[in-house]
Structure 1
Amino acid sequence: MALSVKGKIDQILKPESGTSRAGKEWSKQDFVIETDDQYPKKVCFTLFGEKVSMINGLSAGQEIEVSFNIESREYNGRWFHNINAWKIEKASDGNMPVPPPEFGMDDIPPEPADDAAGDLPF
């Protein structure tokens, strides 16, 4: 299940790392965004492994769009949920394109000096 949400970065939490029971190195970093909905919600996302670098260069207050997957797992009869981000894009600022400059009389080229231009067949 792939979803996406837009919002402002509220917090970037400290990265975590360690070694699994199998001896493999792991790293993760969480970040929180606040949605732009009528009733804003805060959502905490997790980045794992090499995806942790996607948050580099971003800071609190920046508008982003996060693509993510939701994952649930059971442990000792209880269910735990992760919201795993897999793509982060800076949101477009929504500005309209710059309009072309105004047309003025100075933009009209001068008429040719010789009379040959006046002998057009139409």
Structure 2
Amino acid sequence: MELQGKIITALPAKTGTSARGEWKVQEYVVETHDAYPKKMVFSVFGDDRIQRFNIQVGQEVTVSFDIDAHEYNGRWFNSIRAFDVRQVDPASVAMQPGVMAGSAFGPAPAAAPAQPAAAQPAAPMADAEDKVDDLPF
């Protein structure tokens, strides 16, 4: 899966030791440019990838990621792990007509043409006395 947006936060890196040796993971927050922006936290696992991607706050990026879930003590947790992060020119995002950056579902739908008010039939007006107010307040 892919998501395009702006990096708004870089969380502190976490390190540890496992049976395979030392490991390092860092999480980032990306925000889309949709009409209703969405945020996603994703992780980059491995010091080599963290260095190679060189993700900075404020960058416009395209994140390629996998989603997986795991169970711990009867609760389930999602994991969103990036396998590729590419920088995008911010000017090219603004130049794309009809496409909202960060949209995983393609171009934005075209707006329906507005119909003139005169084309709609007028509803008969009821007298104020005939109107029943059934609102609870």
TM-score with structure 1 setting the length: 0.68
Q: Aligned-pair distance for 1:16?
A: 1.1
Relative to structure 1, the CA distance from residue 13 to residue 55 in structure 2 (aligned partners, 3 Å threshold; closer, same or farther) is: farther
Amino acid at match of 2:24: S
1:27 counterpart = 2:27: no
**Equivalent-residue separation in structure 1 for 2:9 and 2:36 (angstroms):** 19
Q: Give the structure 2 partner of residue 62 of structure 1.
A: 59
TM-score, normalised on structure 2? 0.61
Could you tell me which runs of 5 or more consecutive residues in structure 1 were left unpaired when the two chains were aligned: 97-122
Aligned residues: 92
CA RMSD of aligned residues (A): 1.7
Which ranges in structure 2 are unaligned for 5 or more consecutive residues?
Answer: 96-137
Are residues 1:5 and 2:3 paired? yes
1:54·1:88 contact (CA, 8 Å) conserved in 2? no
8 Å contact from structure 2 (residues 8, 58) kept in 1:
yes
**Cα distance, 1:42 vs. partner?**
1.1
For residues 1-122 of structure 1, the aligned pairs below 5 Å read: 3-20=1-18, 22=19, 24-49=21-46, 50-56=48-54, 58-92=55-89, 93-94=91-92
SS at match of 1:53: helix
Aligned pair in 2 of structure 1 residues 23, 62: CA closer, same or farther (>3 Å)?
closer
Give the Å deviation of 1:55. Answer: 3.8
Deviation at 1:68, TM superposition (A): 0.3
- In the TM superposition, what whole-angstrom CA distance separates every residue of 1:24-66 from its partner, at most 9, and x where no partner exists? 211000011111111101111100012222342x422211100
Identical aligned residues as a percent: 43
